Amino acid sequence: MRLVTYHAVDGLRAGIVVDGDLVVDAAEAGSRIGAGSWAASVVAIIGQPLSARDELAAAAGGLQGRPLSTLRLAPPVPDPSKIICIGLNYQAHVEEAKQIDGAPNEASRVPILFPKFATSLVGHEGDVVIPAASEKLDWEAELAVVIGRRASHVSLGDALSYVGGYAPFNDVSARDIQLATPQWTAGKAFDTAGPFGPVLVTAEEVPDPQDLRVTARLNGVTMQDETTARMIFPVARLIEFISSLITLVPGDVIATGTPAGIGIGRTPPVFMAAGDVIEVEVEGLGVLRNTIVAPSKAVHS
């Protein structure tokens, strides 16, 4: 199942993608099977048993949909309680970071965690706003994992059963702000620093999250191209580790780290400017596209 959250006259609505690119209102489909209460949000849907979601998908197939391209999309989960990002989770990225002043110069023995916030998120085709204090805006293409049920102290072997779905994510980073202090939050969690979407693909449609290609394109030019097989800490290990410290709840997002190819690691460095278009593609999950804008031209979504 592929799920979206989109803007409607009465607020945000959950949608189900059918027939490739048509979106059916999830609550409308749910009303046909007596599931209107839990079909109204993406988080509630991914928390249901597979049999219930299959029934909802079947009900959606009988309804008229709207083209996905005509909707203004929000992040698939617009208000997660937590967005936990992972730093330096690909060895080649660790190597390129060694050349960057102020960046860590070796892989960590455990996952590196840092936060973004709900206000960091922006949907597909939404604007990424350059912070007024930054001149070094960078991209980071990533696989996002969305938690489907409460997870605390889960085992490595059971960890993937707590995943509700997957989506593309862009850990946009203001490098000059990020590297000004030992703590990364200021340069990572500003408003619109977390493009996310366009759709959430439920976990049963992703047999192996360690077998997906992650790509970033800046103005159509490929800047990152790597497989999730090369993560230092795979998705299951991330969930095991994080849940040993922090209780994960449905809708929580884990951005699993970026491969090599970031702008600051290039010679000469490449940074994003107003008017640039950045795309993040994760194999089988879709293409996330956003435009870089100056603050005065920002339109959030």
Residue spans per domain, the chain: 2-71, 83-297
pLDDT > 90 in the chain, percent? 91
Are the C-beta atoms of 198 and 281 separated by less than 8 Å? Answer: no
Give the lowest-confidence range in 4-8, 60-64, 106-110: 106-110
pLDDT recorded at residue 103: 75
| pLDDT at site 78 | 97
Under CATH, which architecture does the 83-297 domain have? Alpha-Beta Complex (3.90)
What's the mean per-residue pLDDT of the chain? 95
List pLDDT tens digits, range 116-131: 999 999 999 999 999 9
Strands (E), 162-271: 163-170, 173-174, 194-195, 200-202, 213-218, 221-227, 253-255
CA-based nearest residue to 282, from 151, 166, 185, 132: 166
- Would the pLDDT of 298 be above 60? no
Instruction: Indicate if the pLDDT at residue 236 is higher than 80.
Output: yes
Confidence of residue 104 (pLDDT cuts 50, 70, 90): confident
Could you give the C-alpha distances from 56 to 91, 148, 206, in angstroms and in order? Answer: 41, 17, 19
What would the pLDDT profile of 243-282 be if each residue is shown by its tens digit?
A: 999 999 999 999 999 999 999 999 999 999 999 999 999 9
Among 65-79, 86-100, 109-123, 264-278, the range scoring the smallest mean pLDDT is: 86-100
Give me 197's structure tokens. 């979407």
Tell me how far apart the alpha carbons of residues 120 and 131 are, in angstroms, rounded to a whole number: 12
Confidence at residue 105, expressed as pLDDT on a 0 to 100 scale: 67
Supply 237's token pair: 């290990």
Choose among 114, 108, 103: nearest CA to 262.
103
Res 297: pLDDT: 56
Residue 102 in 3-state DSSP?
Answer: coil
Query: What is the reported pLDDT for 295?
Result: 85
Partner residues linked to 13 by β-bridges: 6
Instruction: Answer whether residue 14 shows pLDDT above 60.
Output: yes
Report the C-alpha gap between 192 and 278 in whole angstroms. 13
pTM, full prediction: 0.96
Q: List Cβ<8 Å contacts ≥24 apart for 23-28.
A: 23/65, 23/66, 23/67, 23/68, 23/71, 24/60, 24/61, 24/63, 24/64, 24/65, 25/63, 26/56, 26/60, 28/63
> Binning pLDDT at 50, 70 and 90, where does residue 300 land?
low
Residue 275 DSSP one-character state: T
* 301: pLDDT strictly greater than 80: no
The confidence score (pLDDT) of residue 220 equals 98
